[in-house]
Amino acid sequence: MVSKENFLLKGIPNLHPRSSQYKDFWKAEKRKCIEGYWVSGRYMPGNIYFYVNFWHILKNKDNYSKVKVIALPDLRDIEWIKGYMFMEARGFSGFAEDDEITCSRDVKKIEEGLNNKTLEPDDYLAALKYLPKQCFTSKNVLKKYEEARDYLPKNHGVNKGKPLYQNEALDIIDLECRRVGKSYFAAGGIIAPNFLFDGATDYDDYLEAIKIGNPMSSETLVGAIDSKYSNDLLRKFGLGLSHIKGAYKVGTTNFPSPLAKKISGTLNPNDSIISRYLDSDGDWRGSQSKLHHRSFRDNPFAGNGTGPSITCLEEIGFMENIREAKGALKDVTSNGTQKFGSIFMFGTGGAMAQGATQAAQEIFLNPEEYDCIAFPDFYENSGKKIGFFIPYHLGLNQFKDKEGITDIVEAKKWVEKKRVRLRAGKSKKPYNDELQNNPEVPSEIFLLTNSNIFPVADLSDHLKSLEASLSGFTSGQLGKLVLSPTHTRGIKWEPDLKNELKICDYPMGKQDDSTGAVQIWEHPPIEDIPYGMYIAGTDPYDQDKSESSSSLGSTFIYKVGDFRQGGIRDMIVAEYTARPDTASDHHEIVRRLLLYYNATDLYENERNSMKMHFEHKNSLYLLANTPTILKATEGSKVDRHYGTHMTAAIKSELEIYARDWLLEPAGNGLLNLHKIYSKSLLKELIAYNNLGNFDRVIAFLLTICLKLQNFRVLIEDKKKEIAQDSFFNRQLFK
Considering the domain architecture, whether residues 436 and 482 belong to the same structural domain is answered as: no
How far is the CA of 648 from the CAs of 62, 510, 690, in angstroms? 52, 27, 9
Q: How confident is the model at residue 354 (pLDDT cuts 50, 70, 90)?
A: low
Give 601-640 as a DSSP string: EEEB-SS-HHHHHHHHTT-GGGBPBPPS--GGGTT-----
Write down the pLDDT at residue 559.
Answer: 95
**pLDDT of 681 above 60:** yes
657 lies in some domain: yes
Q: Tell me the DSSP string of 8-73.
A: S--------TTSHHHHHHHHHHHHHHHH-EEETTEEE-HHHHHHHHH--EEEESSTT-SSEEEEPP
Three-state SS string across 348-362, please? ECCCCCHHHHHHHHH
User: Does residue 417 sit in the same domain as residue 506?
Assistant: no
Query: Among positive and negative, which fits the CA dihedral 391, 392, 396, 401?
Result: negative
Residue 690's contacts (CB-CB under 8 Å, 6 or more residues apart) are: 354, 451
d(CA 49, CA 27): 14
**Cα–Cα–Cα angle for 19, 21, 25, nearest 5°?**
125
Residues 565 and 416 placed together within one structural domain of the fold = no
- Which of 430, 447, 464 is at the close of a domain? 447
pLDDT at 596 over 90: yes
pLDDT in tens, 509-538: 777 889 999 999 999 988 778 888 999 999
Looking at per-residue pLDDT, the higher value among 467 and 192 belongs to 192
Q: Is the pLDDT of residue 496 over 60?
A: yes
Rounded CA separation 676/565 (Å):
21
**Burial, 363: exposed, middle or buried (Cβ in 10 Å; 0-12, 13-18, 19+)?**
buried
Spatial distance between the Cα atoms of 520 and 478, rounded to a whole number of angstroms: 7
| pLDDT at residue 318 greater than cutoff 50 | yes
Average of per-residue pLDDT values in the chain: 90
C-alpha–C-alpha distance, residues 6 and 26, integer Å: 18
Domain around 551: 473-720
Residue 718 has pLDDT above 60, yes or no: no
Is 184 a domain residue?
no
From 195-209, 311-325, 351-365, 696-710, the region with the lowest mean pLDDT: 351-365
Strand, helix or coil for residue 434: helix
Query: Is the model's pLDDT at 641 over the cut of 50?
Result: yes
Q: Which of 578, 621, 641 is nearest to 489 (CA)?
A: 621
In a domain, residue 153? The reply is no
Phi, psi of 119 (to 5 degrees): -105, 115
- Asked if 555 and 596 sit in the same domain, the reply is yes
Same domain membership, residue 562 and residue 653: yes
- Residue 472 clears pLDDT 50, i.e. is over it: yes
Instruction: For residues 611 and 684, state if they share a domain.
Output: yes
What is the pLDDT, as a whole number, of residue 475? 85
Structural contact between residues 303 and 233, judged by C-beta atoms closer than 8 angstroms? no
In a domain, 421, yes or no: yes
Closest to 658 (Cα-Cα) out of 719, 699, 718, 599: 699
pLDDT of residue 203: 98
Shared domain check, 553 and 409:
no
Q: What is the pLDDT of residues 82-100, one digit of tens each?
A: 999 999 999 999 999 999 9
pLDDT per position as a tens digit, 415-445 = 999 999 998 888 878 888 888 889 999 888 8
Q: Does residue 716 carry a pLDDT above 70?
A: no
pLDDT of residue 353: 62
Are 432 and 477 in the same domain? Answer: no
In a domain, 243, yes or no: no
Q: Could you say which DSSP state residue 188 is in? A: I
CA-nearest of 370, 165, 194 to 287 is 194
Give tens-digit pLDDT for 26-83.
999 999 999 999 999 999 999 999 999 999 999 987 777 778 999 999 999 999 999 9
Indicate the SS3 state at residue 723. Answer: helix
pLDDT of residue 429: 82
101 or 565, which is more confident? 101
On whether both 600 and 690 belong to a single domain, the answer is yes
Please confirm whether the linkage preceding 455 is cis (ω < 30° from 0).
Answer: no
Look at residue 566 and tell me whether its pLDDT is greater than 90: no
Strand 163-164 and strand 284-285: the pairing is: unpaired
Residue 701 falls inside a structural domain = yes
* Among candidate residues 403, 432, 447, the one where a domain is terminated: 447
Would you state the pLDDT for residue 273?
96
Phi, psi of 712 (to 5 degrees): -65, -45
The mean per-residue pLDDT over the stretch 641-665 comes to 92
Span 123-140, pLDDT tens digits: 788 888 889 999 999 999
- Which DSSP string do the residues of 539-559 spell out, in sequence order? E---S-TTSS----EEEEEEE
Q: What is the mean pLDDT of residues 224-251?
A: 93
The mean pLDDT of 363-369, rounded to a whole number, is 93
Q: Global pTM? A: 0.81
Residues 406 and 540 in one domain: no
Mark whether 515 and 607 lie in a shared domain: yes
pLDDT confidence of residue 348: 87
Q: Which of 429, 447, 465 represents a domain boundary (last residue)? A: 447
Question: Is residue 733 predicted with pLDDT exceeding 70?
Answer: no
Report the C-alpha dihedral over residues 145, 150, 153, 157, rounded to 10 degrees.
-50
Instruction: Decide if 179 is inside a domain.
Output: no
Q: Kindly state the average pLDDT of the residues 687-695.
A: 83
Average pLDDT over residues 628-636: 72
655 and 527, same domain (yes or no): yes
217 lies in some domain: no
* Residue 561, pLDDT score: 82
What does the pLDDT read at residue 43? 98
pLDDT at 447: 77
pLDDT of residue 723: 53
What is the mean predicted confidence (pLDDT) over 243-261?
Answer: 90
CATH code, domain carrying 566? 3.30.420.240
- Please tell me the total count of domains within the chain: 2
Q: CA 430, CA 350: separation in Å to the nearest integer?
A: 12
3-state secondary structure of 255: strand
Are the C-beta atoms of 361 and 687 separated by less than 8 Å?
yes
- Predicted local confidence at residue 446, as pLDDT: 81
What's the sign of the alpha-carbon dihedral 454, 458, 462, 468? Answer: positive
Instruction: Please state whether beta strands 338-339 and 334-335 pair in parallel, antiparallel, or not at all (unpaired).
Output: antiparallel
Give ∠ CA 685-690-695 in degrees, rounded to 5: 50
